[in-house]
Structure 1
Amino acid sequence: MQGNLSEIDIRSILQLIELGQRTGLLFIQTDDSCSGSKFAYSYTESSLPRTWFVFFLNGQIIYSQEGNSSVFRLRDYLRYYRINLQGEETPSKTDSDKSLSAPEYAYLWRLLEQDIINPIQARSIIHGLVHETLFDLLSLRKGNFIFELDKPLAPQLTTLEIAPLVSKVFKQLQEWNQLSPFIQSPDQCPVLTDVERLRSSLASSTVEKLQHWTDGKTSLRQLARYLNRDVLTLAKAIYPYVQQGLIHIVSDDTVLSLTHKDVQQPPEKELQAIVCIDDAVAICERVQSILQLNGYNAIAFTNPLEALNAVFQIQPLLILCDIVMPDLDGYELCAMLRHSSAFRVVPIIMLSGKSSYIDRVRANMVGATDYLTKPFDQTELLLLIRKHLAVAGGAISLPHGHFGRRSEDANADSQKAALVD
């Protein structure tokens, strides 16, 4: 059995294997490292395909792995049991033939044989590995698959029924989508951006743990492994703090300009930036040109999701934001920023080709400071920017008037419970 994921989805493939009580190996490969997945939020330029292997016995899952020969995932899981592996990262040639197709599995068996772990721990680790593999696979929409009848991995540590596991993971994926665009990929990394405010709402011990783990280099998935929790539970626990701008989500290859006291602060010129977010390249170039010619440091973004990530690092003095954009429109972006304390006093000017009263009211409702209709000339743009920069310079809250801000404070008690429990 083989085919394309645009014609049949992973869930249906697994159901067929289960109904047929098949024994063998399922191989899945994406078109590239980002395509087809709901977790396509990545800063890397890599176009290498991702591959997975899932092993079956009589229609049940024995084990699964992503297509590489290292045991880094296993090392992450073993940290929970305070087991620190030393030495080689792949099984030796003295291991059985199973190491050729499933090196992690062979390594796990070696740890069992050496009494480094016990069978209960081994089964728990396999369940975690299978769960996170399905979490990735069930989100795929593009790629290819091949299922081959074959002898099962032996000996078996455990078998997992497909239907209940797939149903559980599918529901988790639906909940995961609700965290977008703040959190999009298990491979993103959390990092603290406002330690002092966290100390005022969380216990010192909890903040210390967060400081230890949220270093901008450890992914959400790795943290979930370290804590022996599924990645959704972890993401939901930190989600309120991400919304408030206290924790920032980045990719591990992103160069960060953080607000930690022990990290070098970005240059003053960057702190004084004005950000323009518009999917039209011509508008971005025009605004950037006007502002730079008039002595402002202007930074433009045509992708609203990238802009949402970047503004927490740049901390701009003012934001110009288009309304009609793909993936995330200006109303949604403005509302998200207003939920963060970092953007309570930052003027946000909405840009739109429409000048209707309804559009202006809607902009007001999501917290916009003002509204500028396109096309606009240089004088209009500069007058509006100078006006709001002057007001914001000494403001404690947003200026009163037609474009006032509305927001609701998050429930602090529920946030504490989600992170500590």
Structure 2
Amino acid sequence: MMTSAPNRNEAFFSQLNLYSQQQFTGRLDIQLVTGQQWGLYLSLGNLVWATEGLHPVRRFRRQLASTLPKVNPKAISPRQSDFFECWDYHALALLVQRNLAQTDDVVEIARGLIAEVLFDLLQAIEIAAVTQQIAQFYEKPRDRGESVEEFRTASTFKIKPKLGARPSSKDLGIFPRSRSWDIELALSGTQKVWEKWSQMGLALYSPNLAPVIKKSEQLQAKASPSTYKNLVALIDGRRTMRDISVLLKKDLVGVCQSLLPYIRRQLIGLVEVPDLPNPYQSYCDLAREATPTAERVPTFDSSPDRPCIVCIDDSPRVCKAMEKLLTGAGYRFIGIQEAIQALPTLLQHKPDVIFLDLMMPIANGYEICSQIRRVSNLKDTPVIILTSQDGLVDRVRAKVVGATDFLTKPADKQKLLDIARKYATGGSNEQSAKARSS
């Protein structure tokens, strides 16, 4: 029997906690030595989404049916113009956008989805570690003197960060900061479930396996008539253990514990089953092939003798209003609603002034300003912070990361034009350097 070994996950937990402490925003790509891949999305160090693992469609349908049984999955099909990395995250966002669910319902579904992914990830790391130890034990010469501890701590995974990546290109407000998850708490909670699962002797068995009756007559002889009747109705080789637990509205560990005596006697077997067809696959393919950057970063006048002003703000309404005002005043204007596109677009267009929103869903204004100041071609470009929180702490922090000036939202039109005129001149770089040093 394979028992729990929390130390195998200790290195993994430590690395994730480090990203959390650094307030990382983006995707962490996790690859195991077995070739399995996973993705964890963080926003300011908190967990907002998790992907990969077995049965993503079953997982989504299961959690949706558990919380919102009356919602037809077809009602949340994306539009062909939508751009996203994670169809399931985007589908939840559409539930809120189309008034099919309250935010609390969607957050509950998300918690269930993330919990399943984290459990599968921890189990995969555990199995990969054991597999690697066995392989190393037989492959390495015995006279090298490797200790058991060296086998136990051998690396079984790699983490590759992708800054600024997010599940969907649209911020539909389903995960405000107050409802994202502390990654340490999420992992410790999942670890407790995994330990309980492992102590039951199920560590090598995925909850994504489907129970199937192998010896009907012997099972009927061992179980009571009512239990046998229930087992025959539930166990058809097509429902996974997770599917059954949701169908019965019972705890997964409890359901599996009740099946365990029959599994050990080999009266019930566990078999692999395929995922359900993904009705969003065609939309996923379109989203991957789409090139929305040009659509989201419009250039209205390429004349080089007109000062260029960039606004980085995730709100389409703000960008549209600034576009109308500034182009009407004779400036070239570029609106950037995706934080991940900020630096490439700034390097391409070399703006005279940058207006930067402070509060954005993936990378906030402080992070982007710091990135801008690390680029030699942009280190003296005026950066004007836009925020609705006009506090002393915000102003001090903005100065620390290299901001040139501060403008409170909603910005008065005349003030916005005045500040644009102040910095969008031939001497703007000099003014910016002086402003930041003052």
Q: Shorter-normalised TM-score: what interval?
A: 0.3 to 0.5
Q: Bigger relative contact order, structure 1 or 2, given CA contacts below 8 A and separation 6+?
A: 2
Which structure has the bigger radius of gyration? 2
Structure showing the higher helix proportion among its residues: 2
What's the TM-score once normalised by structure 1's chain length? 0.46
